Amino acid sequence: MSRYSANEIEAKWQQSWDQAETFLATRNDDKPKYYVLEMFPYPSGRIHMGHVRNYTMGDVIARYKLATGHNVLHPMGWDAFGMPAENAAMAIGGHPKDWTYSNIADMRNQMKPLGMSIDWSREFATCDPEYYGQQQALFLDMMEKGLVYRKNAIVNWDPEDMTVLANEQVEQGRGWRSGALVERRELTQWFFKISDYSDELLSALDGLDDWPAKVKLMQANWIGKSRGLQFGFERVDGGDPIEVYTTRPDTLMGASFVGISPDHPIAKHLEKNNPALAAFNIEARKGGTTEEAIETAEKLGFDTGLRVRHPLNPNWELPVWVANFILMDYGTGAIFACPAHDQRDLDFCRKYDLPVTDTFFALDDNTPVDRTAFVPPKTEKVNWVNHFAGLETATGQEAIDLTIDFAETAGWGKGVTQYRLRDWGLSRQRYWGCPIPVVHCADCGVVPENKQNLPVQLPDDVSFDMPGNPLDRHPTWRNCACPNCGNDALRETDTMDTFVDSSWYFIRFTAPRADTPTDRDEANYWMNVDQYIGGVEHAILHLLYSRFFARAMQITGHLEEKSSEPFNALFTQGMVTHEIYQTRKAGDTKARPIYHLPEEVKDGKLIATGETVEIIPSAKMSKSKKNVVDPISIIATYGADTARWFVLSDSPPERDVEWTASGAEAAYRHLNRVWNICDRVGTMDKTALGSGDDDLLRAMHKTIHDVTMGVETFGFNAAIAKLYGFTGILQKSKAGYTAQHEAIKTLAQLMAPMTPHLAEEIWAHQGGIGLIANAPWPVADPAMMVEDSVTLPIQINGKRRAEITVSKDLGKAAIETIALGEPAVIKALAGGAPKKVIVVPGRIVNVVV
């Protein structure tokens, strides 16, 4: 009897696939193409279980599509620019480039043993000059088409380190290194005109039938289309009117004050001669730039002293306040506040003792607003007590529409469609990113670099021993000739957001070595991505930016129109979680917990000391909590097939899966069991007859059907449950050799997408022809799946009370007769007639008494 030895067979079959070039993507007009892609990884240096899960799902699809007769493209690359490389250089010295490429080499070495069906010949990293040079070419093309511009924008500024901070470098309003209070500061930065596509990006979501509804909803909310009224408040002092935008113009008679952003031009103008306001604005600009930080900060205001006239009553004057919660980026940067019908405005007015006027009441309740604002529902009628447009009762939506019409007719306002989506700020004041290929010339201004000078390469001789961007202080790199006039000029030192890198890499995979951004013919053949798989954390930004880029690349002539929505189907997988083990210093429940790796713990105790650990429920694997399991050690212990099988088996793919040692062992035991069956069948007498051949083959065909459905619908855990079931049947089967031989070969084929190495080994052992990776997917024979009889539950008043077994073809009336003859039914009827009998053939019978 031979034993299952994962390490031996996995290396062997990986070599076979390499030699046969099984996974090289090839064009072949006889077959349809299929492009499956997992979101490419950041090269941190270590693969983690989340990667294993993500790539295994993609691999299941890729191998299944190969078996069902497709030309499969399944590439891999590296999202290699970004801050961690610079942080490493600052923390431990060295160069971001060396750190990144060495991490890539390490991670590739860790990934290959997983046995993924990846076409490695197409691999690239976004930090390769060959890649980012093409990205620069693309940028210049986008510039030419007016999709790029510069404007001022706000950044997190660390006043001590004199540097721009990323949101993640701001901790509780302070810089992570310096600890200084972070300020918001304006800088001239580069932007993509994604807002030109707001409506298009919103409406095209409708066509994305194979995207999760929740992702489409999140994107729609992010784009945030709204219809409202824009109008000006006349200033009492005769200055330019203050333009406001509101989505609830119907509450205009409840206006209490006009609020402007601390960054509003009027606020900035007034602060010059008003030290108290200047101080307020400085204070308001402290804190992070995230929407969350701004929204959750204490609401503060400052009365500017300006007064404006209410548009419906020129004698009604309203004060103008600067408020820290008003964003300059949204609408006009100015609002009117209606405290009675907006909680934030109400809180603000109560705090500063501003008037509160009700304009709407619920139909059955006209209690004036006190501490809780009454927001008139858009679809329910309410009383409009302070109405001005003609209706006494209206739904919120009717009131809004009517007000807009009213204002337009009267000529003091206009209906405006607004989007929450802002233009994409792509400037980063950092070294390790794609240089923005423009030059600043004293005479010619901002000039694009000549395409023949691309790539504008990052200089290697930089250091990270002082704060700020090394490109800014580089002695020679900044100085260059103006591409236009040839005079001395300065290079742009901002680099691109790494989201730019990831917005078109999937298109580059179709022709990764082309000397233009795309090879139109290759892109046309392989695009779109048929199935994209990744984490839901990318549901908004990465996917929205990629959708924008696909349109931009069409406009710049790099992509066909059919690819303006580049991802046909999207799947968002859940995380891999693990329990957290912690101890605290004896007797000190307030001491900082000490975390322990799972391998240091057995049966709830530390292996080393026997100390009992506290078990915190499962959470996302993270180094800081030490609740991580290293795929490399799992592969060393059990093999890649076990890891792959387990990450698919225990939870539905879109949900989190909890890694448990016992679950991994169970997966390993199961693969051993399958191998043992294979071994046993291999030793059977080839002419042996047995009993139950039909039962085995019927189960086999049902399993083919169920597993195929499972793979097609991302029901991997359900498919695996069916495979467990069938394995159990095969294990106990007394069928003859021919049936068992067919069953084990089919089992191997059905398992091949998940556990490809074991499947190849079984295939070879059972005399299969060629590689199982190339064998056509088994097809279920419907005739072989039919059971002759079916068991129906009998319900009485919706509760199951009995069951009957009848022929599958039996008609409704006959089923009803049999059901009514059941003792439980007779007892329940107690001689009376049933009120109603519902018969759902093949499903259920419900008798209502």
- Residues in 705-734 that interact with RNA by CB under 7 A: 715, 717-718, 720-721, 724-725, 728, 731-732
Q: Count the alpha carbons within 13 Å of 703 in the hemisphere toward its beta carbon.
A: 26
- Residues in 32-61 that interact with RNA by CB under 7 A: 42
Neighbouring C-beta atoms of residue 377, cutoff 10 Å = 13
The minimum distance between CB 428 and RNA, in angstroms, equals: 5
The verdict on 274 binding RNA (CB under 7 A) reads no
The minimum distance between CB 44 and RNA, in angstroms, equals: 8
Residues that bind RNA (rule: CB under 7 A) add up to a total of: 95
The minimum distance between CB 421 and RNA, in angstroms, equals: 5
Among 82, 396, 413, 639, which residue sits at the site for RNA (rule: CB under 7 A)? 82
The verdict on 362 binding RNA (CB under 7 A) reads no
Pattern 428-447, RNA, x by CB under 7 A? xxx-----------------
Which residue's CB is nearer to RNA, number 241 or number 425? 425
The verdict on 97 binding RNA (CB under 7 A) reads no
Which residue's CB is nearer to RNA, number 186 or number 243? 186
Q: Distance between CA atoms of 41 and 784, rounded to whole angstroms?
A: 44
The minimum distance between CB 541 and RNA, in angstroms, equals: 5
- Residues in 177-236 that interact with RNA by CB under 7 A: 187, 189, 213-214, 217-218, 221-222, 224
The minimum distance between CB 343 and RNA, in angstroms, equals: 7
Cβ partners under 8 Å of residue 171, min gap 6? none
The minimum distance between CB 143 and RNA, in angstroms, equals: 19
Which residue's CB is nearer to RNA, number 441 or number 458? 458
- Residues in 319-348 that interact with RNA by CB under 7 A: 343-344
Neighbouring C-beta atoms of residue 121, cutoff 10 Å = 12
Yes or no: say if 641 and 4 are a contact pair by the CB < 8 Å rule.
Answer: no
- Residues in 660-699 that interact with RNA by CB under 7 A: 660, 662-663, 665-666, 669, 672-673
Q: Of 696, 714, 849, give the one whose Cα is nearest residue 784.
A: 696
Among 14, 117, 156, 563, which residue sits at the site for RNA (rule: CB under 7 A)? 156
Segment contacting RNA by CB under 7 A, of 6-14, 53-61, 305-313, 653-661: 653-661
Q: Distance between CA atoms of 386 and 109, rounded to whole angstroms?
A: 71
Segment contacting RNA by CB under 7 A, of 166-174, 227-235, 306-314, 394-402: 166-174
Q: Count the alpha carbons within 13 Å of 517 in the hemisphere toward its beta carbon.
A: 26
- Residues in 476-535 that interact with RNA by CB under 7 A: 497-499
Q: Of 291, 293, 296, give the one whose Cα is nearest residue 328.
A: 291
Q: Distance between CA atoms of 740 and 732, rounded to whole angstroms?
A: 11
Token output for 796: 């009485």
Which residue's CB is nearer to RNA, number 173 or number 232? 173
Q: Distance between CA atoms of 665 and 637, rounded to whole angstroms?
A: 10
The verdict on 843 binding RNA (CB under 7 A) reads yes
Which residue's CB is nearer to RNA, number 371 or number 836? 836
The verdict on 538 binding RNA (CB under 7 A) reads yes
DSSP 745-809: HHHHHHHTTTSHHHHHHHHHHTT-SS-GGGSPPP---GGGT--SEEEEEEEETTEEEEEEEEETT
Q: Parallel, antiparallel, or unpaired: how do β-strands 381-384 and 393-395 relate?
A: antiparallel
Which three-class secondary structure string do you get for 145-193?
A: CCCEEEEEEEEEEECCCCEEECHHHEECCEECCCCCECEEEEEEEEEEC
**In degrees rounded to 5, what are phi and psi of residue 141?**
-65, -40
Pattern 729-768, RNA, x by CB under 7 A? --xx------------------------------------
Yes or no: say if 734 and 692 are a contact pair by the CB < 8 Å rule.
Answer: yes
Among 5, 109, 313, 797, which residue sits at the site for RNA (rule: CB under 7 A)? 797
The verdict on 176 binding RNA (CB under 7 A) reads no
Token output for 175: 């810089």
Which residue's CB is nearer to RNA, number 114 or number 125? 125
Q: Distance between CA atoms of 534 and 573, rounded to whole angstroms?
A: 6
Q: Distance between CA atoms of 49 and 315, rounded to whole angstroms?
A: 68
The minimum distance between CB 648 and RNA, in angstroms, equals: 11
Token output for 91: 């923390």
Among 242, 647, 657, 819, which residue sits at the site for RNA (rule: CB under 7 A)? 657
- Residues in 585-644 that interact with RNA by CB under 7 A: 618-620
Segment contacting RNA by CB under 7 A, of 67-75, 90-98, 423-431, 551-559: 423-431
H/E element holding 382?
Answer: strand 381-384
- Residues in 284-323 that interact with RNA by CB under 7 A: 289-292, 295-296
DSSP 480-501: EE-TTT-SEEEE---EE-HHHH
22: which DSSP letter? T
